[in-house]
Chains A and B, each alone.
Chain A
Amino acid sequence: VENGTNIGARVRTLELACGARAHLLENHANPTVDVVGFLDGGLRDEPADLPGVADLAFAMLDRGTRRRDERAIAEALESNGASLQYGVGPETALLSGRCLSEDLELLLEVLGETLREPAFPEAQLRLEREETLVALRESAFDTLERAYRRAAQRLLGERDPYARDPLGEPAVVERITRQDLAAHHLRAVAGDRLTLALVGDIDPGRARDLLDAHLGALPRAGAATPPAPVADATPGGRGDAGIERIAIADKEQVDVVLAGPGVARDRPGFEAYGLANFLIGGSFVSRLNQRLRDASGLTYGAQSQIVSGRRAGLWFASFGVHPTDVGPAVDLAREELRRMVTGGVGEEELRLAQQHLTGSFPLRLETNRAVASWLLESVRFGRGLDYVDRYRDRIRGLTRSAVDEALRALIDPDGVLAVAAGSFAP
């Protein structure tokens, strides 16, 4: 983004009549606007007996409102090259839209209308349900997905929002009705749960008028039940030296997931955990890639990430290997993780990671959408709108002992769970 400094001070924050907050940042470099937002709740809003209702409800928002049918909505957006997507995560529902600045009113109008008065038409529900069922059938054959879900479920319990498939369960998806979706909409969509970021070629005054006009009348959650807090599950599953194997017929490659408990993103000093994870599997030169790809050619690549929000979620690493290499690859990975925890981060290794994360920062803020997402994360995790301006100093200030401590907190060398999915040699 143009003049990528002092972003925090340039953001204007509005509160709409419905309680929604919107953070606006002007960037006139390109005649486009990105609108990104989240609603607190996500999978936590789902009743225990309706897993899948949240995703289905949000996927149905743009398939018809009380004013327009699916085709008219698609026509309005597609004819103008604009886009609008909804999705559901463990703790939030997400929205993301993009348009030429001349079409901002159109985008906000569709956004407001779909959030406020979705019609959940029966015919479209049949289509969406079928899409979901297909995706669920396909994911049953997805080796990475299967290994990841199993690891998360062993760590957090089957019903945890971080462990269960956001698409739900086929038998439940089959029977979800329009009424279920409407009820979920009432539960999940409220102005005072909504936070937006608009970044791009906007005139703040006009943007404010448009936001008021199209989103100001969202209902407030008010006395309605707020999302039930889900306690962090006591990690039920601690790993053992073994590898749990999930057999999926007719696959060339086995995907391996190593996992352990994660860490909440609003925890002070989260940067140390982020950096620790980056060292493990966040780049081409990460420890796992050096060990599994560069030194032994066992995999095309290894990755790791912390999947968390206000809750701790989980940490996991993954890599794909030939079926006969599963054992040796897991041994090498576990050994490397143990080495990291016991030996700590090297001085040079830390310095390089700090250089990378600070040096690549302008690249990661290149697009309006990326800046908008940064702003939202900063707000959501209580870091302040100026976090984007302070981030590099935070990274530079990390010490070896802070990162070592984060490594120890993330990785229990004897407790890293290993799950592998694919076709194993007989």
Chain B
Amino acid sequence: VKRSDASGSAPGIDGVVEERLENGLRLLLLESHLSPVVCVSVWYRVGSRHDPAGGAGLAHLLEHMTYNGTARHPKGAYDRVLHAHGALHNASTWLDRTGYYVVVGSDRYEIALDLEADRMRGARLDPADLRDEITVIANEIQRTEDEPAAALHERLQSLAFRVHPYGRPVLGWPEDLQAVTAADLRAFYDRHYQPGNAHLVVVGDVRLPELRERIRSTFGAIPAGAAPPSRAAAEPAQRGERRFELRKAGGQELWAAGYKVPSRSSDDSYALDVLAHVLGHGRTSRLYGALVETGLAVAAGAEYPAAPADPFLFLIDADPGPGVARDAVEEVIDREIDRLAREPVAPAEIARARKRARVEFVMRRDKVSARAFLLGELESTVGWRVAETYLARLDAVTPEHVMRVAGRYLVRDERTVGHFRPSGTD
């Protein structure tokens, strides 16, 4: 058992205890007695990137299917048992990971440990449930398709990543899902749902000695299982802008661009965080001033989603104003980026980004699930210790560094641009 107490100074994340069970399961445990609530979450390092060719959506389908009973708990029992204990629970699948969580009163959290341990190796994956579950997911896919912004972003990702599996939709393609067999699902489960490929994050009103004991008697009983060998994937350099148009029913034109950027493991990621704040967070941001206040756009924003393990996209969105040509919006965005690449941002802009990040950390303490998600998400990709050093790294970002990353990454040859034009408007 490896153990190390963290003593980072970042607010909201002090006191995380990291351990490992003999079967390979990593544990991140954090006592927090602010309210009598515990979040138990289990994260598997399997996401849409691990879907096999021709099987887009398998990881997400598996997430759904693990709710349909285990050897010890018949179909429906998971929901019923947690329901009766007043627990709230859900799951999500994303690019690199699948996460399950239960939030429950601290006097009964062992039930969540028991059920989640059962899920790890005991899922029945009954072939009889497969068709209905695929229909449910088909409904989920249709919902996404009916959301113009979601449909636009899914296609943006598809076009930006032609080789890397990040190009595949997490929910999968209906045709691929129809072809999935129970045997495919079982093999995928056996490969990825192993203690060595998962981490258990528990945050809340627990006492560590008792928690450890309960983890040992539930997860500790699972035979060792290794993580599948990780397969590196890389997207070749883009070298040239890619563009597409999407026509569907909708009431508003949308514009979105994704620029290839490095992941959180890069030193540049902290400067990219600041850049996203300066460019597109709130009414003090540059895009708000240049696009919204001028009436060129109705909304505009920028985001650097740092959670993906591999290089992903810096996203800029703008909803062109009525009668405003998309080109006019794009011109202003290019001009703002160009300015960021040439002139250092004002110290006040950096200070604002820092303070907001700091406050977000403090606010996160309000909910055990928010801290569990932060730890679980980071541990799925770059490691949870990023949370310890995050604010200090952000404090170290200089105007010059922001300028450098703007000039290096926000370039046309590395961007993909999508335009949603409501059907019926020409």
A residues in contact (CB < 8 Å) with B? 1-2, 4, 29-32, 70-71, 74-75, 78-82, 98, 100, 123, 126-127, 130-131, 133-134, 136-141, 143, 248-253, 283-285, 293-294, 296-300, 320-322, 352, 355-363, 365-368
- In the assembled complex, 22 residue pairs joining A and B whose CB atoms fall closer than 8 Å, in A order, are A1-B35, A30-B365, A79-B351, A79-B355, A81-B358, A100-B359, A130-B321, A130-B322, A131-B299, A134-B251, A138-B252, A250-B248, A285-B79, A297-B132, A298-B135, A299-B136, A321-B139, A359-B85, A359-B108, A362-B35, A362-B36, A363-B87
Q: Which residues of the other chain, B, contact A137 by a CB distance below 8 angstroms? A: 251-252
- Chain B residues whose CB sits within 8 angstroms of the CB of A322 once the complex forms: 138-139, 142
Alpha-carbon distance between A126 and B146 when the two chains are bound, in angstroms: 29
Cβ-based interface call for B356 (8 A) = yes
Q: Using Cβ atoms and an 8 Å threshold, which residues of chain A touch B360? A: 81
Within 62-115 of B, Cβ neighbours of A (below 8 Å) are at 76, 79-80, 83-88, 103-106, 108
Per the bound structure, the CA–CA distance linking A272 and B240 in Å amounts to 62
Asked if residues A98 and B83 are in contact (CB atoms below 8 Å), the reply is: no
Asked if residues A79 and B108 are in contact (CB atoms below 8 Å), the reply is no
Pick the residue among A79, A123, A130 that contacts B298 (CB under 8 A).
Answer: A130
- Which residues of chain B have C-beta atoms less than 8 A from A251's C-beta? 146, 249
CB distance from B111 to the nearest CB of A (A): 10
Partner of B284, one of A75, A296, A360: A75
Which A residues touch B248, using CB under 8 A?
250
- Distance between Cα atoms of A359 and B140 in the complex (Å): 30
Would A284 and B83 count as touching, CB distance under 8 A?
A: yes
Query: By the criterion CB–CB under 8 Å, are A285 and B362 in contact?
Result: no
Chain B min CB distance to A201 (Å): 10
The answer to whether A31 and B362 touch across the interface, beta carbons within 8 angstroms, is yes
A138 and B249: CB pair below 8 A?
no
Nearest B residue (CB) for A5: B36
Q: Which 9 A-B pairs have the closest CB atoms?
A: A359-B86, A81-B359, A297-B132, A137-B251, A250-B249, A360-B86, A252-B142, A74-B283, A297-B135
Give the interface of B toward A (CB within 8 A): 34-37, 76, 79-80, 83-88, 103-106, 108, 131-143, 145-146, 248-252, 281-284, 289, 292-293, 295, 298-299, 319, 321-322, 348, 351-352, 355-356, 358-360, 362-363, 365-368, 422-424
Among residues of B, the one whose C-beta sits closest to the C-beta of A355 is: B84
Docked Cα-Cα span, A306 to B12, in Å, equals 37
User: In whole angstroms, what is the CA distance A74 to B284 when docked?
Assistant: 6
CB distance from B16 to the nearest CB of A (A): 17
CB distance from B151 to the nearest CB of A (A): 10
Given contacts A32-B363, A79-B355, A363-B86, 10 further A-B contacts (CB under 8 A): A71-B289, A80-B355, A127-B292, A136-B251, A253-B142, A294-B76, A297-B133, A300-B137, A300-B139, A363-B103
Residues of B near A82 (CB, < 8 A) are 359
**Cα distance A4–B136 when bound, in Å?**
39
Q: How far is the CA of A184 from the CA of B214 in the complex (A)?
A: 59
Asked whether B355 lies within 8 Å of A368 as measured between CB atoms, the reply is: no
Given A253-B139, A365-B35, also A248-B249 (CB < 8 A):
yes
Within 8 Å CB of A127, what residues of B? 292-293, 295
Complex Cα spacing A55 to B355, Å? 31
Complex formed: what's the CA distance from A207 to B366 in Å? 21
**B366–A368 contact, CB under 8 A?**
yes
Q: Write the chain B residue with the least CB distance to A283.
A: B83
The docked-state distance in angstroms from the alpha carbon of A357 to that of B87 is: 9
Cross-chain contact B352 with A134 (CB below 8 angstroms):
no
Please give the distance in Å from B389's CB to the nearest CB on chain A: 20
Counting chain A CB atoms within 10 Å of each CB, which of B37, B131, B358, B365 scores highest?
A: B37
Residues of A within 8 A of B250 (CB): 138, 141
- Rounded to whole Å, the gap between the CB of A62 and the closest CB of chain B is 9
Q: Assuming A131-B299, A138-B250, is B131 touching A363 (CB within 8 A)?
A: no
Q: Which residues of B are found within 8 Å of A1, using beta-carbon distances?
A: 34-35
Least CB distance, B67 to chain A, in whole angstroms: 9
Task: Please name all residues of chain A whose beta carbon is closer than 8 Å to the beta carbon of B35 when the two chains form the complex.
Answer: 1-2, 4, 29, 362, 365-366
Whether B367 pairs with A366 at a CB distance below 8 angstroms is yes
Q: Is the CB of B76 within 8 A of A299?
A: no
Residues A300 and B136 in contact, CB atoms below 8 Å apart:
yes
| B284 and A352 form a contact (CB under 8 A) | no
On whether the beta carbons of A296 and B83 are closer than 8 Å, the reply is: no
Q: How far is the CB of A324 from chain B (nearest CB, A)?
A: 12
Task: Tell which of B88, B352, B368, B424 touches A78, judged by Cβ atoms closer than 8 Å.
Answer: B352
A225 to B257, CA, bound (A): 51
How far is it, in angstroms, between the C-alpha of A127 and the C-alpha of B103 when the chains are bound? 41
Q: Once the chains are docked, how many angstroms separate the CA of A252 from the CA of B366?
A: 38
CA–CA, A321 and B140, complex, Å:
10
Query: Which of A81, A100, A355, A367 is B86 in contact with, Cβ under 8 Å?
Result: A355
* A356 adjacent to B84 (CB under 8 Å): yes
Known: A138-B251, A320-B143, A366-B368. A32 touches B362 (CB 8 A): yes
Q: Does A29 contact B34, Cβ atoms closer than 8 Å?
A: yes
Docked Cα-Cα span, A140 to B88, in Å, equals 33
In the assembly, what is the distance between CA of A43 and CA of B301, in Å? 31
Query: Is B34's CB under 8 angstroms from A361's CB?
Result: no
B367–A367 contact, CB under 8 A?
yes
